[in-house]
Amino acid sequence: MTLYVGNLSYEVTEAGLSGVFAEYGSVKQVKLPMDRETGRMRGFAFVELETAAAEEAAIKELDGAEWMGRTMKVNAARPRTDSKPAARSGGWGDNSRNSSRGF
């Protein structure tokens, strides 16, 4: 399971976050997504611990805890859903629209 950690300070580092979660078990991975345009951290992270028991303990203890002046939100990460609809070209090249009419 991967944990979602939200409402983080923009000053958070992978090492700092890893240190917080290491209190609950061995940290396998920390991901800090960066904004493509600004190059700045986006205010959330994903943390993966070695065992499910460690992850559950981290959720229980850290969800709602204050760190670096912010109240953290920690829960099980949900699978990513594609929020953008597939691009459609429209016009004459879009066969899906014309196929229902038999053209």
Q: What is the pLDDT along the chain (103 residues), one digit of tens a residue?
A: 899 999 999 999 999 999 999 999 999 999 999 999 998 999 999 999 999 999 999 999 999 999 999 999 999 999 877 666 655 555 555 555 555 555 5
Distance CA 13, CA 45 (A): 10
CB 71 within 8 A of CB 60: no
pLDDT of residue 80: 77
Tell me, yes or no, whether 42 lies in a domain: yes
66 within domain boundaries: yes
Q: Give the CA distances from residue 11 to residues 32, 55, 67, 83, in Å, rounded to whole numbers and listed in that order.
A: 11, 23, 11, 28
CATH number at residue 11: 3.30.70.330
Task: Note whether residue 82 is domain-resident.
Answer: no
- The pTM of this model reads 0.75
Expressed as residue numbers, the domain containing 22 is 3-76
